[in-house]
Amino acid sequence: MKKKFDINKFIKILLTPKKYPKWYNKKVKPIIDYPNEFGLDTKKFCYKLRSIEEAVDDAGFKELTETTKTKDGEEYIPFFNTDNLEKDFKRLDKSFNYSPILQIRDTPEPDDGLYYYTEEHAYLSIKKNKYSFLISAGDYNNNFNLSITKIFKNIKKKDIKTLSRISLEQHQAGRGGD
């Protein structure tokens, strides 16, 4: 029997910063600029929010992020395509409400079949929870990334109307879909 997705456990894990090792080069300089978002970083470790897929896995539902076969025999990879994100969240729990805000698609004309880029920003709310999220997804030549841009607790309706501006600012700053 398939176990029921625990949305509250998922949200709690998603909101809790996770410890990750910092990577250094041979000159003992960090390879990546690690922002100390939570004031918890040490010389060897940084703390940051998990990805959506990682939070699903850490909540004990790894099977929901694994590749499966469709009825047509095609491979289906959850949380790996901007066109399927709404369906992927609904697959976890019907109380997810996925609302796209901004979508960008870039493919050369004529399409050379080698390059493509998609980016999508969306508002993710949950009927059963006070938390909601602004998320961004980017896919550059099959390198997909889904991340939380901003977390809201009891967001007001008037503030929801400003989300498109936040998404556009992040895209212009080069932080969308990364």
Which DSSP string corresponds to the chain? -PPPP-HHHHHHHHHS-EEEE--B-TTS-BSS----TTS---SSEEEEPPPHHHHHHHTT-GGGTS-EE-TTS-EE-TTS-GGGHHHHHHHH-TTEEEEEEEEEEE--SS--SS--EEEEEEEEEETT-SEEEEEEEEEETTEEEEEEEEEEES--HHHHTTHHHHHHHHHHTT-TT-
**Spans of the chain below 50 pLDDT:** 1
Q: What is the pLDDT of residues 81-103, one digit of tens each?
A: 888 999 999 999 999 999 999 88
pTM of the model: 0.82
In the prediction, which pLDDT does 131 show? 94
User: What are the domain boundaries of the chain?
Assistant: 7-172
